[in-house]
């Protein structure tokens, strides 16, 4: 095994007394620990905001006089010492949940593969929900002390930045990311050469550099083909996420799957569990087969070995949404591989074959399902949908016996929680609430939070959202990039006392962002009542190749700019983790309107819930499990519709009725101290029931007992 040398590419020349900031900048621990963030923010808040809360960029650019000023503040130094100790104690902690619950498993390794990781806004290697889930997965694995190692890509252009033209057409920009401003750690071999893996692509070899990212106690390895040894075309393979070019896509999937297995081997990591988050990384199973066969195993033994340790999580409830390749591409890219496995072409294609209306394709989730003993969907209803969707792979089984279970998604509490909500929880739940955050008993105490305190924090967070939107549009207005009507659309008239509803997600048509516009006059009457005003904030990107999604944004934007909306409909550009945090912390109501049952889970509503925002959503995905009649509202019922038009009508009707008769009056009902007592009762019921259940901690413990543990113990499913 190669000896690996690890090196921080950045040395910041910090004053000795606070040089620990450099170490902190290179471990994402600070992302979910507000004390860590405050050490940077305190030194220069304007710079900290201007560089998107990126500690590496911050320490490279911060003015020396600012650092010296902090050095002269005893209070700062006290906070610094305390926080550094806190971080060191966390990183070196021996008695974690994992080590005390599974002391015998400490040498096992779980490998987790994902195409994207949404860890922080300053690390643009994510596009949306799937990435946020993987990012949260790593943070919680760190908190629980799980022996998990992750593999993905660092994209040198990340996902696109969104800008809307005056007429609401989505424009995309991308910027080259400077790796010197990312917290990447250089890995080098004993000759001090960058650590590289090689994969075979048609008539050439492509190399990828392996970078490391520290996420608390977890190591994430990121592949990057932008190196001198590659041709210009190959250097661009890891340029951006979700290319629409199938050749780029299959090359990326070969890189992450096959290259990922090779990278772990190079690093001396031998996982007992291989978890594929979505089908993009399923070629890892092919590489593992190839290795086993090469070292002498029969194909059947190899398949058994691979299957028992592979786990596949599906996130796609729509057949057309599945990642797939035309067979000629498989011929082109895997022509060498099937003979190495002792297979014919047809036998190899069988691993991923699915008949489509237009012919056969090679479907990545099929490959993943065939080579994984255990598979899961991401909510109960999504489990039902998935078993139906994949029943054809088990033709002799009844749909309910298709071996796909479910683990409902969750969110990493401390990443999404407003600091001041955390202060309330420490005060009224338990000082150590964070240690027990998935314990429903702890949350029984949510009723103890005094109304006045809770309302004050809620108002504070809404104020922050309003200021954020105001300030952002002010800057764009001054830069001359917006027209006056766009300034209004961007939230210039937002105000902190109105009932505020948030709607932010990827703009895909099934999410029906325009549902509440079906009766626009009625919506205008609802939001413009001078005694009970309502503002609705939209945000979200459409995939650059999704024309209907872009048209939907345009439709929303045109409505937003109409004068009669009174500036109470708002579209905030460029939805990312930073904007998501302001929204989920600041809005009173979080709304989601997918066409049932197309929302696999959804997670943004969970983020709003733990901050005391109330959900108002279709009973789909997670909300179908979370809603209890007293902790938020449902849109429509669980009726199954054959006719989508009928479904849209009924759901739109339900939106207007519930807003008018329940949500708006409840919000504006105040006692003599101007506190909305009944509203806050609902907020507390929401905290009590949803925070523990939809935490990533609950989710990860379920993965451990139902998936990772049986795989480690090599249990076979009864099939």
Ligand X SMILES: *Cc1c(COP(=O)(O)O)cnc(C)c1O
Of residues 692, 712, 650, 367, the one with CA closest to residue 512:
650
**Closest approach of ligand X to the CB of residue 580, in Å:** 3
Residues 697 and 140: beta-carbon distance below 8 Å: yes
**Closest approach of ligand X to the CB of residue 557, in Å:** 19
Of residues 332, 49, 369, 371, the one with CA closest to residue 202:
332
**Among 55-63, 215-223, 384-392, 600-608, the segment contacting ligand X (CB under 6 A):** 600-608
Residues 501 and 583: beta-carbon distance below 8 Å: no
Q: Can you tell me the distance from the alpha carbon of 58 to that of 77, in angstroms, rounded to the nearest whole number?
A: 18
Measured from the CB atom, is 37 or 230 closer to ligand X?
37
Q: Assess 494 for contact with ligand X (CB under 6 A).
A: no
Q: Can you tell me the distance from the alpha carbon of 532 to that of 671, in angstroms, rounded to the nearest whole number?
A: 16
List helix spans (H) across 351-481: 364-370, 380-389, 413-416, 419-428, 440-443, 451-478
Site for ligand X in 79-118 (CB under 6 A): none
Site for ligand X in 210-239 (CB under 6 A): none
In a 13 Å sphere around the CA of 76, the CA atoms on its Cβ side amount to 19
Measured from the CB atom, is 586 or 602 closer to ligand X?
602
Q: Assess 602 for contact with ligand X (CB under 6 A).
A: yes
* H, E, C per residue of 252-321: HHHHHHHHHHHHHHHCCCCCCEEEEECHHHCHHHHHHHHHHHHCCCCHHHHHHHHHHHEEEECCCCCHHH
Q: Assess 410 for contact with ligand X (CB under 6 A).
A: no
Q: Assess 603 for contact with ligand X (CB under 6 A).
A: yes
Q: Can you tell me the distance from the alpha carbon of 68 to that of 46, in angstroms, rounded to the nearest whole number?
A: 17
Measured from the CB atom, is 128 or 365 closer to ligand X?
128
The secondary element (H helix, E strand) that includes residue 220 is strand 218-224
Measured from the CB atom, is 121 or 451 closer to ligand X?
121
**Closest approach of ligand X to the CB of residue 470, in Å:** 21
Measured from the CB atom, is 253 or 620 closer to ligand X?
620
Binding mask 502-541 for ligand X (x = CB under 6 A): ---x------------------------------------
**Closest approach of ligand X to the CB of residue 36, in Å:** 20
Q: Can you tell me the distance from the alpha carbon of 516 to that of 268, in angstroms, rounded to the nearest whole number?
A: 54
Choose, by CB under 6 A, the member of 128, 257, 279, 422 that binds ligand X.
128
**Among 107-115, 125-133, 336-344, 437-445, the segment contacting ligand X (CB under 6 A):** 125-133
**Closest approach of ligand X to the CB of residue 307, in Å:** 30
**Closest approach of ligand X to the CB of residue 664, in Å:** 24
Measured from the CB atom, is 366 or 591 closer to ligand X?
591
Q: Assess 617 for contact with ligand X (CB under 6 A).
A: no
Helix (H, G, I), strand (E, B) or coil at 195: coil
**Closest approach of ligand X to the CB of residue 128, in Å:** 4
Measured from the CB atom, is 128 or 271 closer to ligand X?
128
Residues 148 and 225: beta-carbon distance below 8 Å: no
Measured from the CB atom, is 565 or 598 closer to ligand X?
598
Q: Can you tell me the distance from the alpha carbon of 128 to that of 603, in angstroms, rounded to the nearest whole number?
A: 11
Q: Can you tell me the distance from the alpha carbon of 272 to that of 251, in angstroms, rounded to the nearest whole number?
A: 26
Choose, by CB under 6 A, the member of 129, 152, 403, 490 that binds ligand X.
129
Helix (H, G, I), strand (E, B) or coil at 90: helix
Q: Give the number of other CB atoms < 10 A from CB of residue 3.
A: 9
**Closest approach of ligand X to the CB of residue 694, in Å:** 11
Site for ligand X in 560-599 (CB under 6 A): 575-577, 580
Q: Assess 132 for contact with ligand X (CB under 6 A).
A: yes
Q: Assess 373 for contact with ligand X (CB under 6 A).
A: no
Could you identify the residue written with the tokens 């995309």?
Answer: 172
Measured from the CB atom, is 121 or 660 closer to ligand X?
121
Sites of contact with ligand X (CB under 6 A): 128-129, 132, 505, 575-577, 580, 602-604, 607
């Amino acid at each position: 095994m190669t000896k690996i040398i690890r090196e921080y590419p950045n040395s910041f020349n910090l004053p000795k007394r606070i040089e620990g900031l450099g170490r902190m900048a290179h471990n994402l621990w600070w992302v979910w620990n507000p004390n860590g963030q405050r050490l940077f923010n305190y030194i220069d808040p304007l710079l900290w905001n201007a560089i998107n809360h990126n500690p590496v960029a911050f320490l490279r650019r911060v003015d020396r006089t600012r650092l010296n000023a902090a050095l002269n503040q005893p209070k700062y130094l006290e906070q610094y010492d305390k926080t550094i100790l806190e971080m060191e104690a966390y990183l070196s902690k021996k008695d974690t949940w994992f080590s005390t619950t599974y002391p015998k498993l400490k040498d096992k390794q779980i490998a987790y593969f994902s195409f994207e990781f949404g860890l922080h806004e300053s690390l643009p290697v994510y596009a949306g929900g799937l990435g946020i889930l993987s990012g949260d997965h790593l943070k919680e694995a760190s908190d629980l002390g799980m022996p998990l190692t992750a593999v993905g890509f660092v994209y040198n252009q990340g996902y696109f930045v969104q800008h809307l033209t005056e007429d609401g057409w989505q424009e995309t920009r991308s910027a080259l990311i400077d790796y010197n401003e990312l917290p990447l750690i250089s890995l080098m071999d004993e000759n001090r050469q960058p650590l590289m893996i090689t994969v075979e692509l048609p008539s050439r070899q492509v190399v990828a550099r392996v970078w490391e990212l520290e996420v608390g106690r977890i190591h994430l390895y990121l592949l990057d083909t932008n190196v001198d040894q590659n041709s210009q075309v190959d250097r661009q393979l890891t340029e951006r996420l979700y290319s629409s070019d199938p050749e780029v896509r299959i090359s990326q999937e070969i890189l992450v799957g096959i290259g990922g297995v090779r990278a772990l081997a190079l690093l001396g990591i031998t996982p007992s569990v291989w978890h594929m988050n979505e089908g993009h990384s399923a070629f890892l199973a092919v590489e593992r087969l190839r290795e086993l066969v090469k070292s002498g195993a029969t194909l059947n033994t190899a398949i058994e070995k691979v299957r028992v340790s592979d786990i596949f999580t599906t996130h796609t409830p729509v057949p057309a949404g599945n990642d797939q390749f035309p067979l000629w591409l498989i011929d082109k890219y895997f022509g060498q591989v099937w003979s190495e496995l002792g297979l014919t072409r047809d036998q190899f294609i069988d691993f991923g074959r699915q008949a489509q209306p237009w012919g056969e394709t090679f479907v990545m989730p099929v490959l993943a399902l065939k080579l994984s003993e255990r598979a899961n969907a991401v909510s109960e209803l999504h489990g039902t949908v998935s078993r139906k969707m994949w029943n054809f792979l088990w033709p002799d089984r009844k749909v309910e016996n298709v071996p796909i279970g479910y683990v409902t998604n969750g969110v990493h509490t401390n990443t999404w929680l407003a600091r001041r909500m955390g202060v309330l929880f420490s005060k009224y739940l338990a000082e150590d609430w964070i240690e027990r955050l998935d314990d429903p008993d702890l949350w029984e105490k949510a009723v103890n939070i005094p109304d006045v305190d809770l309302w004050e924090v809620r108002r504070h967070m809404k104020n922050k959202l309003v200021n954020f939107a105001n300030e952002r549009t002010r800057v764009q207005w001054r830069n001359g990039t917006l027209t006056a009507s766009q300034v209004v659309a961007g939230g210039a008239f937002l105000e902190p006392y109105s009932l505020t509803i948030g709607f932010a997600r990827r703009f895909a048509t099934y999410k029906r962002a325009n549902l509440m516009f079906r009766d626009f006059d009625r919506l205008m009457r609802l939001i413009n009542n001078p005694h009970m005003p309502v503002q609705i904030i939209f945000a979200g990107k459409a995939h650059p190749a999704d024309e209907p999604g872009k048209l939907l944004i345009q439709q929303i934007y045109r409505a937003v700019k109409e004068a009669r909306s009174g500036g109470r409909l708002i579209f905030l550009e460029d939805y990312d983790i930073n904007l998501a945090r302001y929204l989920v912390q600041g809005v009173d109501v979080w709304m989601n309107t997918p066409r049932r049952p197309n929302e696999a889970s959804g997670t943004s509503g969970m983020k709003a819930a733990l901050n005391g925002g109330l959900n108002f959503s279709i009973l789909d995905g997670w909300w179908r499990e979370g809603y209890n009649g007293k902790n938020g509202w449902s849109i429509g019922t669980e009726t199954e519709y054959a006719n989508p038009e009928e479904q849209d009508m009924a759901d739109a009707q339900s939106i207007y009725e519930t807003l008018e008769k329940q949500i708006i009056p409840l919000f504006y009902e105040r006692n003599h101290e101007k506190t909305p007592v009944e509203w806050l009762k609902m907020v507390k019921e929401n905290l009590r029931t949803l925070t523990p259940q939809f935490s990533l901690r609950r989710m990860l413990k379920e993965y451990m007992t139902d998936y990772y543990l049986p795989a480690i113990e090599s249990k076979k499913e009864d099939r």
